[in-house]
Amino acid sequence: MKLLALDTSGDACSAALYLDGAIEQRLELAPRGHAQLILPMMQSLLASAGIALGALDAIAFGRGPGSFTGVRIAVAVAQGVAFGAGRPTVPVSTLAALAQGALRRSGRRRVLAALDARMGEVYWGAYEVDADAVMRCVGAESVAPPGAVQIPPGDGWYGVGPGWAAHRETLAQRIGSRLQGVCAPALCEARDLAPIAAAELAAGRAVAAELARPVYLRERVTYPAARVGTPI
């Protein structure tokens, strides 16, 4: 399976090429440079591997939650590239990718991923690893005050993501002794979208480029859906 994954949902801009389980990534911390960086990153990966866009099975992208502008960039770029190459897209939760990163770095199997949603809230999701070494959501992703997030049963939970940096004390109190540790500096990376996207594609959950949509979670702050050719 051959996938190109991209993420521009936060401070990091990243692209990754997935070739039958092997992953190569380009990443740069540039919160305001995503629109300029992401296409050259993708082109560099393809050129390095000697692969044309048309040889890919799909284009994966971080569909949110995250920065509203950043998520829109990812959707618009994925749509444009996939539409031009005649490939499907695979939307991947940025919270799930954060959890996948914790599994990759330290083998954490139960992860509570949090992003700072501003307005005194966090984007939140709980994940457990499945038999295919892919993080799966337990319950539903949500946006909520840190003192009201839903905690699934069981012990050994590990916190990841910038939401922990902003609200660590409140979240830790909410979870209590079931919290095993925290890695607040963790960022969403395209290389962690890739294995999730591969599993989604194998399960038949890709979508046509024109149907790719962002997921913001916060309903009261909405933007029109990105479309091919829409200015960013």
| pLDDT, tens digit (0-9, with 9 covering 90-100), for 63-74 | 999 999 999 999
Cβ distance 206 to 58 under 8 Å?
yes
pLDDT at residue number 223:
38
The stretch 198-202 carries a mean pLDDT of 98
Number of domains in the chain: 2
Among 214, 217, 220, which residue's Cα sits nearest to residue 69? 214
CB-side neighbour CA atoms (13 Å) of 99: 28
Cβ distance 144 to 126 under 8 Å?
no
Residues 134 and 195 in one domain: no
Confirm whether 221 is domain-assigned.
Answer: no
Residues 81 and 110 in one domain: no
Residues 202 and 89 in one domain: yes
Residues 194 and 111 in one domain: no
Residue 68 belongs to a domain with what CATH number? 3.30.420.40
Residues 122 and 144 in one domain: yes
Confirm whether 20 is domain-assigned.
Answer: yes
Instruction: Give the global pTM.
Output: 0.93
Going by pLDDT thresholds of 50, 70 and 90, the confidence category of residue 31 is: confident
Indicate if the pLDDT at residue 77 is higher than 50: yes
Residues 88 and 107 in one domain: no
Residues 136 and 201 in one domain: no
Residues 101 and 176 in one domain: yes
Task: Give the structural domain span for 178.
Answer: 95-183
Residues 99 and 88 in one domain: no
Confirm whether 201 is domain-assigned.
Answer: yes
pLDDT at residue number 106:
96
Among 26, 19, 54, 59, which residue's Cα sits nearest to residue 40? 26
pLDDT digits (tens, 9 = 90+) for 85-139: 999 999 999 999 999 999 999 999 999 999 999 999 999 999 999 999 999 999 9
Residues 192 and 81 in one domain: yes
Confirm whether 110 is domain-assigned.
Answer: yes
Confirm whether 222 is domain-assigned.
Answer: no
Residues 127 and 177 in one domain: yes
Confirm whether 220 is domain-assigned.
Answer: no
pLDDT above 70: percentage of residues in the chain: 94
Cβ distance 25 to 190 under 8 Å?
yes
Residues 178 and 144 in one domain: yes
- Tell me the C-alpha distance between 183 and 186, whole Å: 6
Among 65, 52, 51, which residue's Cα sits nearest to residue 96? 65
Confirm whether 106 is domain-assigned.
Answer: yes
Going by pLDDT thresholds of 50, 70 and 90, the confidence category of residue 218 is: confident
Number of CB atoms found within 10 A of residue 16's CB: 26
**Cα 157 to the center of its chain, rounded Å:** 20
Indicate if the pLDDT at residue 179 is higher than 80: yes
- The values of phi and psi at residue 135, to 5°, are -75, 130
- Tell me the C-alpha distance between 93 and 215, whole Å: 8
- Tell me the C-alpha distance between 45 and 200, whole Å: 22
pLDDT at residue number 227:
39
